Structure 1
Amino acid sequence: MMPPSSNFSGGGSGEEKQCIVNDQMGPFVVLYILIFVISLPGNLLSVWAFIRSPRATQQNASVYLVNLLVADLLLLLALPFKILYDLGSASWSLMVFHCQASAVTIYISLYASIAFLAFIIIDRYMQDCHSLRSLRLQEVGFSRLLTLVVWLLLLLIMVPNMVLPTQEVKEQRYLSCSSLKTDIGLHWHALTVFLCTALFLNASIAVLVSCGLALKRLLGSRKDPKLWVDARQAAGNVTAVALAYIVSFVPYHVVRTPYTLAQTKVITDCQTRRQLFLGKEWTLLLSVLHLCFDPLLFFYLYAPFRQTICRMFPCCRNQSVGEAEEQAAEEMMQPTTSVQPEDAF
């Protein structure tokens, strides 16, 4: 076997040289370990807070937040396998398992997070826009149905990547997951990337439209101080989540398509493939970083979650009580059609 710094491995004079793209994973391993260590306590605390929250599944926004938390937990479960795989010292069976199962789980979690963040942004705009509160989109039953559709769609797209047959590959230190795929597996993988990119583009359009409407409402309310305060809060909420969405997921999708061309051997130049792989890994790391910030999102956007956390700290209790009273007063002013128990899915 050639030294780690070599671009090629294997192959005699009659064999095609194999391009190694994943022999520089040391920095990624360190950063992934840091992300895992930092995000694990926050997400476990989020699980505890949602369990203790009396209305964790009775509000429209909480449905999306809970499902976002489930996606984060899936990513946390899969991340140790990626860390071991990137180390290059894992057993062969563990590396194959990562390629067939845990890597696919990472992408299921990634696109579930994209969908639910988009739903949260849309919901935040609709919650703050009083004229839209009576729409069916604001009903809990519809939100649960929508999240179920997202999970089923992602499983339908992604699971074949786990179950399609693979080809035998000689054991090696640097295993490329695409080398395990047969032709039909590579074709399905390319289709998966296309479908998930389409999901991302649709979610991004919804995010941009919500941001545009929130800013339009803000500009149109400049002459009314009361409307200006509400519109500024709505625009701030939507813009904050939208910025997190853009920073986390847009760079990855800029690199994803050309990298897929390298995986499917449309791009064959080794140096180009190595650069695309490193670009994909850096932008994927940026996407995974949302694990650290989602607990802050739960705290900021969901008052019952915030109240549960504040009960743990005496200095926050007075603020928590004040927020509870304010939220109760706001809910009494909302139309009774916004939450209907019989619509529960």
Structure 2
Amino acid sequence: MAPPSSNSSDGGEQCIVNDQMGPFTVLYTLVFIISVPGNLLSVWIFIRSRRVKRSLSVYLLNLLLSDLLLLLALPFKILKDGGAAPWSLKVFHCQASAVTLYISLYASIAFLAFIITDCYLQDCTSLCSMRLQEHVQEQRFLSCSSLKKGISLHWHALTVVLCTALFLNASFSVLLSSFLALRRLLGNKDPLLRADSRRAAVSVTAVALAYIVGFVPYHVVRAPYTLTQTKVITECSVRRKLFLGKEATLLLSILHLCFDPLIFYYLHEPFRQTLRNMMPCWRKKRSEEEGKAAEEETAEGKAAVEQDLQSTLI
């Protein structure tokens, strides 16, 4: 069956690429529902955590802020893709919230790159205005690129190129820093630091893999998809496949909203300590450890006193 199409206002055939958004709407909704509690909890923990004047803390906090901005923009995309939004809200998404979504996404890419690079550098040093009233013909399936004409469409393509350049630079930094950090950590022969080195190596590897899985597929698809928006690629079947590929890989990129709280936990000691103090089981365990340490210290003190008395008697 041929893909659905409708006649455009100029008499040409219009290729509709976004008429199969039902599954994506469900998945985006799940991502939103799952990520909201973790990110709100992260906000609360950061507020309660002691302030640490380190670059890593600043990068983690900015990553959290970009995640919150992405969370604010995501419901508009869900409503627009699900067909539940009125026309004005669809246009608002294309001209405002979609821009916010991509700004947040690339901010997350940049700060994740900073975080991985900062972790490597630390290991090296210590080892350890929206035009809603514009007259645009209302359509059932709105493609955001259809709202851009002439210079706006070229500016969109240039923005994609610049963002891709940002991604490539960030990726180079991530890969180089991860490789150097792993080589240094795994090459450490000090038995006292070997366990810490393994733990740090696992953290660096996990963050780097999350970065690669989350952002590389999207940028592989994004470049050819942009060619369909600028009318370089005009074959309708190809445009539809690239659009679905873009949406699927964008969903993969937005999944980092669900996992960033884990990065905060593993990389930020005040965050980890505050979260543990909130949990009764951790508080009980900590009290038992402190009590045991106090008993051992008292026993050692008594033994030392007895030894001094014996020395004095002799």
Normalised-by-shorter TM-score class: 0.7 to 0.9
Q: Given the alignment of the two structures, is residue 191 of structure 1 paired with residue 158 of structure 2, yes or no?
A: yes
* C-alpha separation in 1, matches of 2:27 and 2:103: 21
Q: Distance in 1 between matches of 2:51 and 2:280?
A: 22
Partner of 2:26: 30
2-structure distance, mates of 1:306, 1:294: 13
The alpha-carbon distance between structure 1 residues 250 and 320, as it changes in their structure 2 partners (threshold 3 A), is farther
Q: Which amino acid letter does the alignment assign opposite residue 51 of structure 1?
A: I
1:109 equivalenced with 2:104 (yes/no): yes
Report Cα offsets for 1:115-170 as digits up to 9, x if no partner: 0001111111122223599xxxxxxxxxxxxxxxxxxxxxxxxxxxx669997431
Summarize the Cα distance change of 1:200–1:320 in structure 2 as closer, same or farther, 3 Å threshold.
Answer: farther
| CA RMSD across the alignment | 2.3
- Alignment partners' CA distance in 2, 1:47 and 1:288: 19
Which deviates further from its counterpart, 314-323 or 298-307? 314-323
What's 1:175 paired with?
A: 142
Partner deviation per Cα, 1:306-335 (whole Å, 9 max, x = no partner): 111112211112667889xxxxxxxxxxxx
1:18 is paired with a residue whose SS is strand
1:313 aligned to which of 275, 279, 286: 279
| SS of alignment partner, residue 129 of structure 1 | helix
Q: Which has the larger radius of gyration?
A: 2
Bigger mean CA offset, 21-30 vs 313-322: 313-322
Kindly indicate whether the alpha-carbon contact (under 8 Å) linking 2:73 and 2:101 is maintained by their aligned counterparts in 1.
yes
Q: Note the 1:14-163 alignment, pairs <5 A.
A: 15-55=11-51, 58-130=53-125
Post-superposition shift, 1:216? 1.9
Q: Secondary structure of 1:90's partner?
A: coil
Percent identity, please.
70
Q: 1:174 to 1:215 in 2, by over 3 A?
A: same
8 A contact 2:73–2:100 mirrored in 1: yes
Render the CA deviation track for 1:253-281: whole Å, top value 9, x for unaligned.
Answer: 00000000001110000000000000000
What's the offset of the Cα at 1:218? 3.3
1:291 to 254, 257, 268: 257
Answer whether contact 1:166 1:181 (CA < 8 A) is retained.
Answer: no
Distance 2:133 2:55 in 1: 42
Q: How far off its partner does 1:227 sit?
A: 4.7
Amino acid at match of 2:210: A
Structure 2 residue runs of 5 or longer lacking an equivalent are 291-314
Number of the residue aligned with 2:200: 234
SS at match of 1:9: strand
- Cα deviation for residue 235 of structure 1 reads 2.0
Task: Report the TM-score, using the length of structure 1 for normalisation.
Answer: 0.78
Q: Which digits, 9 at most, give the CA deviation of each residue in 1:64-102, with x for residues without a partner?
A: 010000000001100110000001231110000000000
Correspondence for 2:214: 248
Verify the 8 A CA contact 1:128 1:231 in the aligned structure 2.
no
Name the CA shift for 1:98/1:165 in 2 (closer, same or farther; >3 Å).
closer
In 2, are the aligned partners of 1:122 and 1:207 still within 8 Å (CA)?
A: yes
> Does structure 1 retain, via aligned residues, the 8 Å contact 2:182–2:204?
no
Match of 2:7 among 6, 10, 16: 10
Q: TM-score, normalised by structure 2?
A: 0.86
1:266, 1:203 → 2: CA distance? Answer: 28
Alignment check: 8 A CA contact 2:88 2:132 kept:
no
Match of 1:269 among 227, 231, 235: 235
Asked whether the 8 Å contact 2:92–2:130 carries over to 1, the reply is no
Aligned to 2:170: 203
Q: CA deviation at 1:217?
A: 1.2
Contact 2:66 2:104 in 1 (8 A): yes
Alpha-carbon distance in 2 for matches of 1:165, 1:96: 7
